[in-house]
Amino acid sequence: MMSASRLQRAVRPAARAFSQSTNPRRILVTGGTGQIGMELVPFMRQLFGGDSIVNSDIKASAGARDGHFVYCDVQDRDNMARIVVEQGVDTIVHMASLLSAVGEANPSLALAVNTRGVQNVLELAKQHQLRVFAPSTIAVFGPSTPQDETPDTTIMRPTTMYGLTKVHVELLGEYYYNKFGVDFRSVRYPGIISSEALPGGGTTDYAVEIFYEALKHGKYTCFLQPDAKLPMMYMPDCLKATMGLINAPNECLSQRTYNITAVSFTPEEMVASIQKVLPGFQCDYKPDFRQQIAETWPRSLDDSIARRDWNWQHDFDLDRMVEDMLVKLDAKLAKPELVVEETA
């Protein structure tokens, strides 16, 4: 008798693997001026060529105008369909989303953007045989989830609108994969630390703010408690992981959504690492509503399945990341015109 999983694979329409197409890529990136998108787009243009990437968002930053950019509201399916057809898109990298703290301030908007957007993307993928990468987040987990070495498959009962909508992304994407053969892939991003984008409304944004304040003022007031441990990742590793899953052969994948992580640390551990370079740096703590959000998230992730299936490996530990961030931001702050506006 055939097992349920084998039967499902037997009847599921064949997914178009990201890596199997012999034609030139044409990739639409939604939310391309956001915190991750603003670095992912140029990274992908280096890999695939500038003409292969169509950047899109509801507003264009100065950097976005350096290449092909189109206006795209992900809530407007007709406009997205026009872009897909006119631009010859075969892949959508769906980065458009409202983050955790912003989503709590405006839950109705977060619900609309984060759920309607991915629904439109997946429906277009079904109609036009598109590939889809749409990231998830550690915010899908909640207080009933095991907080240490959280596995890929476990209880997901989030307490934020952002987390609720990302559970929707994961499950809807898997449904379209099983039902219609859409090649949907996702990773659960931990906190992402970037030297390029300013904080944009995330609960882990202290880990970016702290560097600016350390260099400008020598002190920082953290909105999380000193022992609030969370999984984190430096942007170069984030880009590496994103492209690693996008380019992985479909036959190597045992699931559609993967945990990924690099290092877990607390604010006080980050302060200690910064003090190795800037001994006079001081930090105090005034937790706000984001502390309550952080308490519902994992302290660390088990990403062993990603490491097994598509050879994910991170490059940056805490100290190496801190050293690199301080060097890059020191040079950036010396040239104020390089400090970009908040985009999320």
**Tokens of residue 66, six digits:** 């350096």
Name the CATH code of domain 206-231+263-298+316-338 (choices 3.40.50, 2.40.128, 3.30.70, 3.90.25).
3.90.25
> Where are the chain's structural domains?
4-193+233-259, 206-231+263-298+316-338
Per-residue pLDDT, 62: 61
Per-residue pLDDT, 200: 73
In the chain, which stretches have pLDDT less than 70? 1-24, 62-66, 201, 336-344
Annotated active-site residue 162? The verdict is: yes
Of 71, 162, 189, 212, the catalytic one is 162
Domain 4-193+233-259 sits in CATH at 3.40.50.720
In the chain, the DSSP E strands lie at 27-30, 53-57, 69-71, 91-94, 131-133, 136-137, 184-189, 191-193, 219-222, 230-234, 257-259, 263-265, 282-285
Per-residue pLDDT, 338: 54
Q: Output the pTM of the full model.
A: 0.89
Per-residue pLDDT, 99: 84
Per-residue pLDDT, 1: 39
pLDDT digits (tens, 9 = 90+) for 290-304: 999 999 999 999 999
For the chain, count helices (H), then strands (E).
13, 13
